[in-house]
Chain A
Amino acid sequence: MPSRKKSRTIRVNYLTRAEGEAALRISMRDGELVDLRLEIFEPPRFFEAFLRGRESREAPDLTARICGICPVAYQMSTVHAFEQSYGITIDPAVRELRRLYMCGEWIESHALHIHMLAAPDYLGCDSILTMAEKNREAVERGLRIKQVGNAIVAALGGRSVHPVGACIGGFTRAPGRERLSGLRERLLRVRDDAVECARWVARFDLPVANRDIEFVSLRHPDEYPMNEGRIVSSKGVDAAAEDFEDCFEEHQVPYSNALHCKVKGRGPYFLGPLARINLNFDRLGPGAAAIARETGISWPSSNPYASIVARALEILYAVDEAVRVIDAYRPPDPPAAPFSVRAGVGRAITEAPRGSLYHAFETDDRGLIRAARIVPPTAQNQARIEADLRELAPELARHPQAAATRICEMAIRNYDPCISCSTHFLKLEIESH
């Protein structure tokens, strides 16, 4: 197609790949850090405000729209919060299906981040598309893994982005055994890919930085955490998920549309696959644990850059867990528990691919939402990301602009701040005085 002649740049001060749009501003004087701001300028969409007055039954479809990459986790935190509020008992078969649903999202989201967002950094490429020219096999392997994750979500919810099957009480339709056994075959085929993927990322030239980090995730008495458990940390937090607000606090900074979070009385904390593995290595299952030991990383790891390896290990865990669920599957009947609405408050945390996702809802006696609070993992990681960048500052001073930018981008991408935040995203401003 012909192009018009006129040429101009559209300048967006853009630190993408974090559930939206962000920029980084670093100011240094004589090699010393003066100011550092991770500015999230993703336009606010006010979910917590417009949820007021909506019916609780509508909520899982609405909160899913917060994130196109992890809608399943949003649906899961929402339905668990209302089930707590309404006192609904879930069929154990539904509970298992929900684990499968989360496995699907972890697989697709982690595969996306590893191959499309993070790996190009380590292979010196600007995107998966150029990476495919030299690393075709790894790219195709990544796409195969991602596809199976999408297929799991679609089996339970019709489509992989904003699936429609989840509801308070369970699912609107439970898949038949045949549907899931087809998935089982695909999962078994992709298991070797998952093992290879973990070995591949472990061979990347990962930066080494041992930091004093407080890791936070759910922990469950007998399984790797997804939808249930207590919230624990590597520095002693141990509380019921409902007591999240007693342990953590949000505060606003003038330069960001995302609220910052801290452990009360302490400081920033770290969520996501590395936190989950560090706090739940004993629940990882023999398959993933064996490969984890092979990587040469000693777990728990205080190196934030081990995140990409943790992410790959969680893919392997999720593949094995999905097969386990399918093998034991019996369709729940009915697929969703009947319930009546009542006035009250419900709170829940689930483990989104990027970390713990807290929802709290207050409803009136007609099941209309009176207040909603949603604390996404990327917002919680924000202060921790800034802390990492601050520790990097002395190193940045030694590098030219392009290299310094790349170092910062990798440090941020490492947290997999939702997709639009990760790839190309950083326009680094280092002001030197």
Chain B
Amino acid sequence: MKPRVAVFKFASCDGCQLQFLNAEDELLRLAGQVDFAYFPEARSRALEGPYDIAFVEGSVTTPADARRIIEVREESRYLITIGACATAGGIQALRNWADIEQYRRAVYPSPEFISTLSTSTPISEHVRVDFEIWGCPIDKYQLLAVTRSLLSGAQPVLPAHSVCIECKRRGNVCVVVARGEPCLGPVTRTGCGALCPSFNRGCYGCFGPANAHNMEAFARLLADQGVTGDEAMRRLRGINGYVRPWRETADALAEKK
């Protein structure tokens, strides 16, 4: 029997699970190797668990989803988070610093109809996670690599060094040095291919923290570029803003001003 794969969605934009469908060249081959038992975005028939691999997209933002993720964990041998929302709480974790009642009222005329938690949290705050794939969106080749590792019984490994190293490899001109652009590259994990610096702009942290991140030095670098206070805080409080090292540094910057 082919291994059974499930793809679950929580609060998200669908962009990460879309990477399965964006793997045009590999999709049909992959479908020969696994059974997409539960993949609502692509398949109308939903098969019951248990599942060998569950890919989870999105963060937990409602009471119902906080219960559902526990069921997903119980049904799944390996639970893999895909993307910034599932792995770090996502852009919607900006609510974690705000008054959710105000948010509800800002968007909905009758806020009492809306059921939501005051926080957006990563899957790992709720259940054990076996492996995390970072990115906003994730890279489809990383997704395929992790899937193949799991299928062959090997521990998946993805690079965790910084975007800076990727830039050097690609021969990019450093946007910090040459253009004075604020850039999260020194503290951000590789995976995008150093995309933003290749497009003449600073990295904004889609792939979360690199394994060796010196946040103190990074805050000093920003300050040297004249990026302080709220502006510095906003740089870190973005796509992966709720992840601990960035959250703590941003909170410290907010206190300091």
Which positions in A face B, CB cutoff 8 Å? 1-10, 12, 14, 16-17, 19-21, 42-46, 48-50, 52, 54-55, 58, 61-62, 65-69, 71, 112, 116, 120, 126-129, 132, 139, 143-144, 146-147, 150, 157-162, 164-165, 167, 172-173, 251-255, 257, 259, 409, 418-420, 422-425
Contacts and interface: CB of A to CB of B under 8 A. Distances in A.
Contact of A419 (B14, B28, B31, B45): B14
A425 B103 contact: no
B137 A68 contact: yes
Nearest to B95: A46
A301 B104 CA distance: 40
Interface string B43-63: 111101111100000000110
B156 interface: no
Interface in B59-110: 61-62, 65, 68, 71-72, 74-75, 77, 90-92, 94-95, 98, 102-104, 106-110
User: Which of A8, A19, A147 has the most C-beta atoms of chain B within 10 angstroms of its own C-beta?
Assistant: A8
B10 interface: yes
Contact of B61 (A43, A116, A420): A43
B161 interface: no
A7 B48 contact: yes
A252 B40 contact: no
Contact of A67 (B14, B44, B116): B14
Contacts of B25: 143, 147
Interface of B: 3-4, 9-19, 21-22, 24-25, 27-28, 31, 36, 38-46, 48-52, 61-62, 65, 68, 71-72, 74-75, 77, 90-92, 94-95, 98, 102-104, 106-110, 113-114, 116, 120, 136-137, 150-151, 153, 192-193, 195-196, 198-201, 204, 206, 231, 234, 238-239
A46 B106 contact: yes
Contacts of A159: 137, 192, 195
A112 B75 CA distance: 30
Contacts, number: 223
For the complex of A and B, list the 5 residue pairs with the smallest distance between their C-beta atoms, beginning with the closest: A68-B15, A127-B43, A424-B44, A49-B103, A50-B94
Interface SS of chain A: loop
B49 A50 contact: no
B116 A16 contact: no
B41 A1 contact: no
B138 to A, nearest CB: 9
A139 B3 contact: no
B24 A143 contact: yes
Contacts of B103: 46, 49-50
Given A16-B40, A55-B231, 8 more contacts: A19-B13, A43-B65, A50-B91, A251-B109, A254-B110, A257-B114, A419-B18, A420-B17
Contacts of B95: 46, 49-50
A65 B28 contact: no
Nearest to B204: A61
Nearest to B62: A43
Contact of A162 (B62, B198, B206): B206
A329 to B, nearest CB: 18
A4 B116 contact: no
User: Which of B12, B38, B41, B201 has the most C-beta atoms of chain A within 10 angstroms of its own C-beta?
Assistant: B41
Contact of A164 (B42, B44, B196): B196
Given A10-B75, A172-B199, A126 B45 contact: yes
Contacts of A5: 50
A126 B43 CA distance: 5
Given A43-B62, A62-B91, A12 B28 contact: no
Nearest to B31: A129
A43 to B, nearest CB: 4
A71 B15 contact: yes
Given A17-B41, A44-B107, A49-B95, A424 B15 contact: no
Contact of A161 (B9, B18, B48, B74): B18
A53 to B, nearest CB: 8
A419 B107 contact: no
B28 A252 contact: no
Contact of A418 (B3, B14, B192): B14
